[in-house]
Amino acid sequence: MPKKPPRNAFYYFMVNFKEEERKKGINYANLAEVADAAGPAWRNAPPSVRSKFEAIAKQEKQKRNIPDTKFTSHGISLAEIEQQEKELRDAEEAERQDIKNFVKLKSFNDSIKYEDIYLMDVNFYCKTSTEYIIGESSILRFNLQDGIKDIYHELINPPHIPIGYASDIKIGSQEYGLEMPDDTQSRSNFMQILANCVDYLKQQDPNVKSLPPIFTMPDKVAPVQDFILQMCNRAAEDDSIFRIYKLDTLFFTLINAIKTCTNEGFPKESLALAQLKKDSFKYTPGIGCEVCVIFFLFLCL
């Protein structure tokens, strides 16, 4: 049998609360009812009361040889949160290093000018508790020498609409100019779209063992990753074959690598992001999707 999780200070506060209430003639059917009733009292308890029950919890853990673990008010281990934050920092550092290595390798013999770079953007109707409902996807391929080479664009008719999100989807369709999901039309085939994406990313070298990284704006990393995960889940494919990186990190690293004067480039990565967010081409005819706007900003510096 798995070991029972250690009891925290709130548990012992509940035990005491239940006994005090029993003396008043108030009884609870189960511990869940006690927790609901004791919650407000615990949140408003003075530090002296909290420290009393924290000491009790610590003593009990020591008796059972359980390491002293602190928890949030929602019962989540602080050590677990710290581990997740560490993993996130490690992933960000690995991404930054991968981009640096890519730019350094391609800049060595000036081949960076001819290297295909892929930008991806998605528009979504809304975000549910578990996923993004994607309505549109675009991948753009370009290099510094030739400019835009081609674009793979898909309008998505979502495979399913979660109950209770009709209003959110309507708002999202108006915000991004998307057609409302159509029950009378066939749903988008995520397995086919995934296959198309993989083929598109392999254009420069069909025999490449690892796919090139996909770059997107920082605020689109989560929805892009989620869209790829949804497609991979439906195709029983490993989503780790995709690398989704922040475009501003590439922009910062690349511009500083190819600059010819000391006054060129960016002293800070945040300045690269600010430049990418400029609306210089907002009213330029024929430039509709965000990845195209980003591309023109990218090349015009």
Residue-level pLDDT at 292: 46
Task: Find the range with the poorest average confidence among 101-110, 134-143, 167-176.
Answer: 101-110
Q: Taking residues 168-194, report their average pLDDT.
A: 91
* Best-predicted range by mean pLDDT (178-187, 213-222, 292-301): 213-222
Cα(154)–Cα(170) distance, integer angstroms = 19
pTM recorded for the entire structure: 0.67
Residue-level pLDDT at 97: 92
| CATH architecture under which domain 104-299 falls | 2-Layer Sandwich (3.30)
What tokens were used for 148? 């835009």
- Residue among 63, 61, 56 nearest 6 (CA): 61
CA end-to-end span of the chain:
63
Cα(195)–Cα(206) distance, integer angstroms = 13
- Burial of 227 per CB tally in 10 Å (0-12, 13-18, 19+): buried
Cα(191)–Cα(24) distance, integer angstroms = 63
For residue 187, the tally of other CB atoms under 10 A from its CB is: 13
What tokens were used for 253? 């690293």
pLDDT tens, 195-207?
Answer: 999 999 998 888 8
pLDDT at 273 > cutoff 60: yes
3-state secondary structure of 113: helix
Q: Where are the domains of the chain?
A: 9-65, 104-299
Name residue, tokens 């009733």.
Answer: 37
Q: What are phi and psi of 220, to 5 degrees?
A: -105, 0
SS3 content of the chain, % helix, strand, coil (to 5): 50, 15, 35
pLDDT tens, 129-149?
Answer: 889 999 999 999 988 888 889
Q: Residue 151 — pLDDT band, cuts 50, 70, 90? A: very high
Contact assessment for residue 71 and residue 77, using Cβ atoms and an 8 Å cutoff: yes
pLDDT tens, 22-73?
Answer: 888 888 888 888 888 888 888 888 888 888 888 888 888 777 765 556 666 6
